[in-house]
Amino acid sequence: MPWRRAFTLGLVSGAGYFGGTIYWTPAVLQTFGGLDVVLSVCAGALLVAYLALYPALFALVVSRAVRQAGPQGLLVAPAVWVALELARRYVLGGFPWVLLGTSQATVIPVVQTASLVGVYGLSALIVLVSAACVIAVAGRGMLRVAVPAGCVLLVAALAGWGAWRVGEGTLTSSGDEIRVALVQGDIRQDVKWDQGSAARNLDVHLQLTMQAAAQGAQLVLWPESSTPYPFERDPGARAVITEIVRSRGIYLLFGSDQIEDGQPPRYFNSAFLLRPTGEVAAVYRKMHLVPFGEFIPLKSLLFFVAPLVQSMSDFSPGEQAVVMPVAGHRISTAICYEVVYPDLVAEFVRGGSELLTTITNDAWYGSSSAPYQHFEQASLRAVEQGRYLIRAANTGISGIVDPYGRVVRSSKIFERTLVSGTVRFIDRRTVYGRTGDAFAYACALLTLLTIAAAWRGRHAFVR
3-state SS assignment for residue 287 = coil
* DSSP letters spanning 109-134: HHHTTHHHHHHHHHHHHHHHHHHHHH
Q: For the chain, what's the residue count?
A: 463
Q: Which residues pair with 422 in a beta bridge?
A: 179
Phi, psi of 291 (to 5 degrees): -60, 135
192 is catalytic: no
Q: Which of 85, 224, 376, 384 is an active site residue?
A: 224
With residue 447 as reference, give the H or E element that holds it. helix 438-455
Q: Which of 151, 294, 336, 338 is an active site residue?
A: 336
**Whole-angstrom Cα distance, residue 27 to residue 38?**
11
Q: Quick one: CA torsion of 331, 429, 89, 320, rounded to 10 degrees?
A: 40
| Angle between helix 370-385 and helix 114-138 axes, rounded to 10 deg | 110
354 is catalytic: no
3-state SS assignment for residue 188 = coil
What are the residues whose beta carbons fall under 8 Å from the beta carbon of 418, sequence distance 6 or more? 181, 182, 183, 184, 208, 211, 212, 215
Q: Which of 286, 294, 384, 443 is an active site residue?
A: 286
Q: Is 137 exposed, middle or buried (0-12, 13-18, 19+ CB in 10 A)?
A: exposed
224 is catalytic: yes
Active site amino acids: 224, 286, 336
